[in-house]
Structure 1
Amino acid sequence: MLPINTRTVEYRADGLTMSGHLALPAGTGRGPAVLLGPEGMGLSDVERRRADALAELGYVALAFDLHGGRYLGDPEEMLARCMPLLADPERMRALGHAALDVLAAEPRVDPDRIAAVGYGTGGMIALELGRDGVDLRAIGTVNGLNTGRPGEAARIRCPVWAGVGSEDPIMSAAQREAFTAEMQAAGVDWRLTVYGGALHAFHHPPVGHPTVPGVGHHPRHARRAWHDVVALLTECLPVTE
C-alpha cells in the first residue's frame, strides 16, 4: 500500500480558528472525498485515524473541528457548548459549510463527488448539510440522529444511512422513530441500522475521562459500524468511478 499524506488545515468557523485533519491518498489525480465529523467532544486521534483509513481506501478525507482546536473531555463543558449548537440548525450548517468549503477547494478533490459522514454531533451536522440542499453523494451518521425543520428533509439529494445502538438513551426509540418518519415522508433513500445491546458512542474506544451517562464502547459493533460506513461509500461514492 502506498503511503498517504496528512496535514493540518486551519480555517474560520463559529467565531473560532478551526484545525482540521486532512488525509490525502497516494497519487496526484482528483478523486472522491469524505467530510468526517467528530463526536461532541471534538476532533481527536480517533477521527484522525478514520480519515487516514479513508485515504488508504482512495478518498481525500477531512476530519473537521468543532471547538477551535480543543478536545472537550469535561462532560459539563462539552454539553455547555454542544447543546446550544445542536439547537441551532443554522450554526450547525455554518460549521459544516466552512469545513466543506476547505475540502472542496483541495486540488485533489473532485468537488462533485463528496460524501459526509459523522459521529454524534458531527453526524447531525452532516444531516443538516443535506437538509440545506448540499449536493452530496451520501450521508452517514452514527448515533447522531436529529429531526429537521418541517419540509427541509425534502432537500436531501442522496442516500442516508444511520446507525444507532438499541440501548442508547440519548438517541431514544422515540427519536429514532421521529427521524425515520421524517426521512420517509420526505422521500429520502434512507436506511437505519440498530446495533443490538449497544449504548451511545458505542463506536468510540474508551476514553480516559468521565463521560455522560449511557455511553459505552462495543468493540464488535464498532467494527460493524465502520464496515457499514465503508459499504455506504463503496456503493454511493466508488473510488474507481
Structure 2
Amino acid sequence: MMTMTTRAVAYPADGVTMIGHLALPAGIGRRPAVLLGPEGVGPSDVEHRRADALAELGYVALAFDLHGGRYLSDPDEMLARCLPLLADPGRMRGIGHAALDVVRAEPRTDPDRIAAIGYGTGGAIGLELGRDGVNLRAIGTVNALTTGRPGEAARIRCPVWAGVGSEDPIMPPAQRDAFTAEMQAAGVDWRLTVYGGALHAFHHPPVDHPTVPGVGFHPQHARRAWRDVLALLAECLPVPAELRA
C-alpha cells in the first residue's frame, strides 16, 4: 500500500537558503496544496507533523521556512529578525512567493488549488500573499491578526479565517478590531474565532527554551484550532473522497 512521503527542499528567499519540509500524499496525480507557515521561531517538528497530517488527508503540503534552516530559540534573536520582517510587507511577500513557487513546481500540485495556513509570522506571510492578489482558495491564521497597507486587503480573493486567544497580549482586542475592520471594509469573506482564556501561540506544545511573555499552550483549544483549520480546508479546498490517502 502506498503511503505519503516527505523530503526537505532547499530554495532561495530573503537572501538566505530556506529549508522547507514537503509532504506528498499517497497515490498519483495532482492534488490541492497547502502552504503551512510557522511561528516566528521558525519551523520545527510541530509544523512538519502538521504538514504530514495534511498529506495523509490528500494534500500536497509545504511547511515553509523563515530563517534559512534555523530555529531561533533565543527570544531576543527571534524578535530582532521578526519585528523588522513583520514591518516590511515586501519581504514577507518575497518569502511567501518563494514558498509558493516551490509548491507550484511540484508535479503533484494542482496550481489552481492552493491555500495558505499560518501561525504567527507564518500567518502574517499568508495574509500578505492574499493582499498581493495571489489566487488562493483560503487563508487561515492563528494569532496573526496583522493589518496591511491601506486598500490592499481588497485584493484578497478567498475566504479568511483567523483564530486568536482571548488573553493574547501580543494580539490584544485593539489589534483584533483593526484586523476585522480592515477585512470588513475590503469586502473579504472573513471569520474570527476567539478562544476563551488562551494566550499567544496557544496551539504550540511547550518548548524547552525561553519564550516571549504571554505565550502559553492550551491543549483543548489547540485541538479545536486544528479542527477549525481542517474545516476551512474542507469547505474551500476539499480533496475528493476518491483521492484521499
TM range (shorter): over 0.9
- What is aligned with 2:205? 205
SS of the residue aligned with 1:102? Answer: helix
- What is aligned with 1:24? 24
Alignment of 1:114-133 (within 5 A): 114-133=114-133
Structure 2's unaligned 5+ residue stretches are none
Aligned residues, how many?
241
Per the TM alignment, residue 26 of structure 1 is displaced from its structure 2 partner at its CA by 0.2
- What is aligned with 1:196? 196
**4+ residue segments displaced more than 3 Å:** none
TM-score (norm 1): 0.99
SS of the residue aligned with 1:99? Answer: helix
Sequence identity (%): 83
Per the TM alignment, residue 2 of structure 1 is displaced from its structure 2 partner at its CA by 4.8
- In 1, Cα distance between equivalents of 2:21 and 2:229: 19
Q: What's the CA shift string for 1:2-36, capped at 9, x where partnerless?
A: 52100000000000000000000000110100000
Task: Give the root-mean-square deviation of aligned CA atoms.
Answer: 0.9
- In 2, Cα distance between equivalents of 1:205 and 1:104: 31
Q: What's the CA shift string for 1:140-191, capped at 9, x where partnerless?
A: 0000111111100000000000000000000010000000000000000000
Aligned amino acid, residue 69 of structure 1: G
- In 2, Cα distance between equivalents of 1:144 and 1:181: 15
Q: What's the CA shift string for 1:67-111, capped at 9, x where partnerless?
A: 000000000000000000000000000000000000011000000
- What is aligned with 2:168? 168
- In 2, Cα distance between equivalents of 1:150 and 1:236: 26
SS of the residue aligned with 1:11? Answer: strand
1:34 and 2:40 matched: no
TM-score (norm 2): 0.97
- In 1, Cα distance between equivalents of 2:217 and 2:43: 18
Aligned amino acid, residue 206 of structure 2: P
SS of the residue aligned with 1:29? Answer: coil
- In 2, Cα distance between equivalents of 1:178 and 1:52: 34
